[in-house]
Structure formats: structure tokens, C-alpha cells
């Protein structure tokens, strides 16, 4: 993580600080997300295979990679910042969850991949680089939400792994609002944990949903379909903006969001 000539932004511990797509067809992913979200692309670290940074407004806001092998799910992953990847990895194991990979040295820091007790996959990132969450920066990931059957149990797990309770309450707090457990950092809501039951063969298992900022959600939904993606339902108004849940050409799920007018 980090981005050559793009601006470097310090990763904030305990909250999401990066998102990355695992794609089967990297060029196809660039052809889809570039025009949809206004992204340009720069070469990134290729230790695990081809990898690029998505850049908007002069800032790297996401990563896209194609590690190969065929066994890795094609999906977006949200990474949480931490002061110690080793301590966070130990906390994952101690709480009965799955540490899948790492911690490993990677680019400018250390990375690990884990799944919480309900099965939602997330990344752990220790390092100086991340992205700024700017609501006015179109194409940036501005809202990260865990869709899980028990958000309170999930909040206890992530709170223990990333020490939510032990941080300065003037800078970081966790609250209940809009039927969600919401994380706030530096006065801004940055992520939430919301109740959603998986059901039926088309049901989505617990996962972190990434929402990218767009100027017009309905137009972005139509554009995604034009580019070969699919809508997972009609656009709808939420407490945080107008949202559309989408699927890209290869099936990776994500969302777009625009401020309420």
C-alpha cells in the first residue's frame, strides 16, 4: 500500500484504512471500475501477482490485484489499521477466529488476512500508509459496513482485536445509531456493523461491504450495468446517503453512495 507519486496518508489505527479487490481478470476490472468511478491506475507492489493502485484526485484510494491460483474468492477486502499486526493476529486467534495468512512483510508495512467468528474476511495492516476518507473525493471508499447476523457479537470481537475501548474517547468512539453499531474517528462516522441474515442459495454470507462515493447513485447503477456489472436491487435512501448495491463483471460485490440532496 502506498502509491508512488500520489499523496501519502497515515493509516489510522483501529478503523478501516484500505480496500483491495481480488480479481481474476485485472484488465477487465480496470475497464469496469475506471469509467464507473473515475479511476486512473498506477503500478503497485507485485509480490503476490499483478497489482495496481486506483487513483482519484491525486490520491491512491484502493488496490486491485490478480494473484492467480483460482482458489481465492473474487471480492473486495477491507483492511483495519493497527499499531501491531502481530498483536492483532494473536487477538484473532485467541478469540476463536481464523487467521488465514500472515502477518507478512509487504511493501511499506506488515499485512495479515483473517475471518471473524461469523466468517467475514478482513485485512490487518501495520504501516504508515493508507488513504484519507474524504466525502468530497469522488471514487473514494467513504463507507465500510459489516453485514452480519449479530452486529453486537461482531463489535465485541473487533473491539477486542483493535482495542476500541482503550482509545482516546475524544478522538474515537463506538455508538449505536440508525440500527447499527457505528465507529467514529476524529468526529466522522467511518464504518458500521449492521444486522443482515444470510438466506437461500443467493444469500450473501457475512462480509464487509465497501461503498464508493459517486455524484449520482442512480446514474452509477445504470452505468455499472452498461459496463457489464449487475444491480443487486434498486437504489435506496439510507441515513448516510443514497445507496446502490452492485456486482462487478466477475461477481465481486460493492456499493456506491451519493450524499442526500
Residue partners of 63: CB distance under 8 A and separation at least 6: 1, 18, 19, 20, 21, 44, 51, 52, 53, 54
Q: Where are the domains of the chain?
A: 16-258
Q: Which residue has the higher pLDDT, 240 or 135?
A: 240
- Where does the pLDDT of residue 132 fall: very low under 50, low under 70, confident under 90, or very high at 90 and above? low
- Topology annotation, domain 16-258: 2,3-Dihydroxybiphenyl 1,2-Dioxygenase; domain 1 (3.10.180)
Q: Using CA atoms, how far apart are residues 183 and 154, in angstroms rounded to an integer?
A: 13
The pLDDT mean for the chain works out to: 85
Enter the pTM of the model: 0.88
Can you give the three-state secondary structure of 11-60, one letter per residue?
CCECCEEEEEEECCCHHHHHHHHHHHHCCEEEECCCCCCCEEEEEECCEE
- The per-residue pLDDT for 5 is 42
Q: Which residue has the higher pLDDT, 68 or 117?
A: 117
Beta strands in 107-219 (DSSP E): 109-115, 121-126, 141-148, 172-177, 180-185, 188-195, 207-213
What does the pLDDT average to over 144-150? 93
Q: What is the percent of the chain with per-residue pLDDT over 70, rounded to a whole number?
A: 86
What region does 243 belong to: left with phi over 0, alpha with psi -120 to 50, or beta? beta
| Predicted confidence (pLDDT) per residue in 219-252, tens digit | 999 999 999 999 999 999 988 899 999 999 999 9
What does the pLDDT average to over 188-204? 72
Q: Which residue has the higher pLDDT, 144 or 72?
A: 144
- The per-residue pLDDT for 6 is 41
Q: Using CA atoms, how far apart are residues 156 and 144, in angstroms rounded to an integer?
A: 17
Amino acid at each position: 500500500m502506498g502509491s508512488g507519486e500520489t499523496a501519502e496518508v497515515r493509516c489510522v489505527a483501529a478503523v478501516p484504512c484500505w480496500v483491495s479487490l481480488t480479481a481474476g481478470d485485472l484488465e477487465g476490472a480496470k475497464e469496469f471500475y475506471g469509467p464507473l468511478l473515475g479511476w486512473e491506475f498506477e503500478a503497485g507492489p507485485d509480490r503476490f501477482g499483478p497489482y495496481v493502485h486506483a487513483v482519484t484526485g491525486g490520491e491512491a484510494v484502493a488496490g486491485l490485484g490478480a494473484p492467480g491460483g483460482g482458489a481465492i474468492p473474487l471480492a473486495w477486502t477491507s483492511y483495519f489499521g493497527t499499531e501491531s499486526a502481530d498483536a492483532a493476529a494473536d487477538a484473532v486467534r485467541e478469540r476463536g477466529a481464523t487467521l488465514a495468512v500472515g502477518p507478512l512483510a509487504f511493501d511499506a508495512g506488515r499485512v495479515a488476512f483473517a475471518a471473524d467468528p461469523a466468517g467475514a474476511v478482513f485485512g490487518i495492516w501495520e504501516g504508515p500508509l493508507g488513504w484519507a476518507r474524504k466525502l468530497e473525493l469522488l471514487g473514494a471508499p467513504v463507507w465500510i459496513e459489516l453485514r452480519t447476523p449479530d452486529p453486537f457479537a461482531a463489535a465485541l470481537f473487533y473491539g477486542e482485536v483493535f482495542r476500541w475501548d482503550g482509545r482516546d474517547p475524544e478522538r474515537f468512539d463506538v455508538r449505536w445509531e440508525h440500527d447499527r453499531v457505528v465507529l467514529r474517528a476524529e468526529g466522522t462516522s467511518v464504518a458500521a456493523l449492521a444486522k443482515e441474515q444470510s438466506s437461500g442459495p443467493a444469500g450473501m454470507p457475512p462480509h464487509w461491504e465497501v461503498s464508493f462515493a459517486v455524484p449520482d447513485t442512480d446514474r452509477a447503477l445504470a452505468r455499472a450495468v452498461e459496463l457489464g456489472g449487475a444491480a443487486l436491487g434498486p437504489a435506496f435512501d439510507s441515513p448516510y446517503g443514497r445507496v446502490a448495491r452492485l456486482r462487478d463483471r466477475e461477481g465481486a460485490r460493492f456499493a456506491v453512495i451519493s450524499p442526500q440532496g
